[in-house]
Structure 1
C-alpha cells in the first residue's frame, strides 16, 4: 500500500512538472513500446514575429509599403552649352571635333549655323541621344570621348585666325605685311591696318621666300605658264611668286599648299585689295 501511494505521488509530480515547463506526456506507440514519459520542448533561436517587446505593449507594426503610385520627379535635362546662333572659339572646337568623326565637312567657321546643327543632330541620333541639334553636356562628353584635342590649324582649317602683331618693317608706307606664323596678310598704310585676310603658303619643297620685296607686276586674270593653273588677282613680288586668289585654298583650306605663292581664299577681299595695291608697294614676308 505504501509503495502504491508513493507511485501516485510521483505521477502527480510529473504531471505538475509538465504543466509548468510545457512538456507533454507521451503515450505508448503502436507496438506497445513506451516512449519517454515526458517530452520537453526547448525554445528555438528564432524569435516569433508576434513576439511582444520587452516592457509590454503590442507587437511592432510592419513598415508600410512604399507608395508606388506616387510619381517620381523627372530628372533635370542636361545643360545646353551651344546652339544655333552661338559663335566663338568653343564653337570652332565643336566643329573641328565633328569633322574628326565625319559628321561635318565644312569649316570650322566659329559660327553655329544650319550645317553644325544638322551634324550635331545626326551625331546624337546615332548614339541614342535626343536629336535636338543643340550641344548639351551629355552630347559634348560623348564627343570628347571619341575625338582628340584639335590643334590650332584644325580650328582654323579654312582661315579666320587672328593676326599676330605686324613686323616692325610694316609700320611705314604702303605694305603687304605677310606673316607665316599666324598665316595672315595685313594690308597696311602708314602703320594702320586697312584689311586682314587668311593666306596659305608653299610646301616644304616649294617654300614661299621670306624677306622684303616690292610689287613689280599685277595681272588680273593670270594663268601660270609653269603649272597651267589660274592665278587671278596676281600681284608678283619675287620671281614667279605672287599674292593671288586660289580656288583650291577656298575649297580645301590648309589641307593643301601652294607652289610658293601666297594664296588668298576670300575672292571678294583680294579683289578689293588688288584694286588698292600699286606697283612698287612694299611686301614683307616674315615668320
Structure 2
C-alpha cells in the first residue's frame, strides 16, 4: 500500500530543514550581540556656568568640576541633544537649562502681557522667545540672541509688518532666513551662527534656523511682538 501523500511532503520538509540547519551552522545564543562599548571617562574641566549647572543637576554647588559633575552634565547634554556632549558646563548647556526650566510655564512671572490674540514674547533677561494666546502656549520657549550694547533690541509693543523668507541684510550682507520684521530694521530671524558666542546681535532677535522656520509657519503680518528686559552683559 502506498504511503499517504502528506507524509511524503512532510518528509521533504524535514529534509529541507536539515539542509538549512547544516548550512546555518551551530546555534550559539548571544553570539551575534556585540559587546557594549565601555563608557569613556568624563574629563572636561570647570566651565563658565559651573555653579548654575551644579545647582540645576542637584550637585554640590562649589564651582569646581568633579568627575561626578562632569558625568551629570554630560548626561544632561545627551538627553537634550547638545553637541558635543562632553560634560563641559558651557553657555549652550546653561541656555538649554533655562529653556528646560521655563518650558512648563514660561510666563509664570507674568512679564509678557496676556491677550486674546497671539503675542510673541521676547524675554531679553533670560534670552528666550515663546508665543502665547491668552494663557495657552502656542510655541514653547526657545533660546534667542538679542542686541548688543548700542544696538539693543528695542523693548515694548511691536507688530510684524513685513516677512521675507530668504532675506539678506542690506547693511551687512549676511543671510537672515525666515525674517519677520517688527520694528524698523529689527526682525525675528534665523542665523547659521551660534547663539551663544560673539556677543549680541545688531538689534535683531536671532533664533536657531530650525526654530525660525517653525516660527515662520505660525506667525503672519499683523501679529503682536512684545519685548522686555535686558540682555545679560549689556548696560541697563
TM-score range, shorter chain: 0.5 to 0.7
**Matched residues in 2 for 1:202 and 1:230: separation?**
17
Instruction: Quote how far apart the aligned CAs of 1:256 are.
Output: 2.5
**Equivalent in 75, 97, 120 of residue 176 of structure 1:** 120
Post-superposition CA distance 1:200-239 (Å, at most 9, x none): 1111121110000110011100000011111001010000
Q: Is the 8 A contact 1:157 1:254 kept in 2?
A: no
Long gaps (5+) in structure 1: 1-81, 121-149
Q: Which has the higher contact order (CA 8 A, sep 6+)?
A: 2
Q: Is the 8 A contact 1:175 1:283 kept in 2?
A: yes
Q: Is the 8 A contact 2:190 2:211 kept in 1?
A: no
- What is the RMSD of the two structures over their aligned residues, measured on CA atoms? 3.6
**Equivalent in 135, 160, 163 of residue 218 of structure 1:** 163
**Normalised by the size of structure 1, how large is the TM-score?**
0.47
Aligned residues: 159
Instruction: Quote how far apart the aligned CAs of 1:255 are.
Output: 4.1
Matches within 5 A, 1:178-197: 178-194=122-138, 195-197=140-142
**Matched residues in 2 for 1:171 and 1:249: separation?**
32
Give the 3 Å change call, closer, same or farther, for CA 203–238 of structure 1 in structure 2. Answer: same
1:54 equivalent in structure 2: none
**Matched residues in 2 for 1:179 and 1:279: separation?**
21
Q: Secondary structure in 2 aligned to 1:111?
A: helix
Mapped pair 1:161 → 2:105: no
Instruction: Quote how far apart the aligned CAs of 1:92 are.
Output: 7.8
Mapped pair 1:259 → 2:230: no
Asked which structure has the greater CA Rg, the reply is 1
1:231 equivalent in structure 2: 176
Long gaps (5+) in structure 2: 1-40, 43-51, 230-236
Give the 3 Å change call, closer, same or farther, for CA 168–246 of structure 1 in structure 2. Answer: closer
**Matched residues in 2 for 1:196 and 1:285: separation?**
14
